[in-house]
Amino acid sequence: MTAVRVGIVDDQALVRMGLRVLIEAEDDLEAVGEAADGREAVELVRREHPDVLLMDVRMPVMDGIAALREIAADDRLAATRVVVLTTFELDEYVFDALRAGAAGFLIKDSEPTELLRAIRLAAAGESLLSPSVTRSVISTFVSRAPHSAPRPQLRELTEREREVLALVGEGLSNAEIAERLVVSPATARTHVSRAMVKLHARDRAQLVVIAYRAGLVR
């Protein structure tokens, strides 16, 4: 099995070292490079093309949001999934990260198992949007974002796809959705994929925003 290649971006050397040690202890993960600021992060992605990039937001030279925008704007770097590391659940930067296309958010003091889960989910094309981060950060983002009418494409969703969209909005992974609905993970993945296509969502994080704006998450 090919190991998931992970890039680490943080301006604190001790944080980078801790993340590297954690990642390298896993047989299916490989740390492929480090960066201390956003500019170095962009160069790291261009050089190593990691599967997942763990990136802090508050850094010198270029912050994580600016780096995320630059990475997202380059089609050649589209395969790299960026997981934003934030100190507080209600970090102002997280709102900008969501707009810029972050694959997920993780609080820095999360348990190591949660960090490893985030990396694996991101590498699998999912997003880590844990309930605590989803409800506190995403809902606040939605309330602050300019008001917009519900997407007309919502009418194209089947009843099951709307149900799945609501569960994505709650922060559930495909496996958790499958368990909740008593279907196979492959079926859950298919429903999520179809909802993304119908709603023209670029990624799972955007599905969460759509779910909140549509009132599917309470």
- Give the side-chain half-sphere CA count within 13 A for 7: 27
Q: If you search the block for the tokens 């922060």, which residue do you land on?
A: 171
* pLDDT tens string 15-71: 999 999 999 999 999 999 999 999 999 999 999 999 999 999 888 889 888 899 899
Tokens of 24: 């390298």
Single out the residue of 135, 7, 27 nearest to residue 71, CA to CA: 7
Please check whether residue 116 is in contact with residue 26, taking contact to mean a CB–CB distance below 8 angstroms.
Answer: yes
Taking the domains of the chain in order of start, what are their residue ranges? 4-142, 149-213
- The rounded distance, in Å, linking the Cα atoms of 9 and 39 is 10
Single out the residue of 16, 5, 14 nearest to residue 40, CA to CA: 16
- Which pTM value belongs to this model? 0.71
Tokens of 99: 């707009």
- Beta-carbon neighbour count of residue 92 at 10 Å? 13
Q: Which fold is adopted by the domain 4-142?
A: Rossmann fold (3.40.50)
- The rounded distance, in Å, linking the Cα atoms of 77 and 3 is 19
- Output the CATH code of domain 149-213: 1.10.10.10
* pLDDT tens string 130-162: 555 555 566 566 565 555 545 667 888 999 999
The identity of residue 76, as a single letter, is R
Q: Could you tell me where the DSSP H helices lie in 124-158?
A: 131-133, 139-144
**pLDDT tier, 178 (very low <50, low <70, confident <90, very high otherwise):** very high
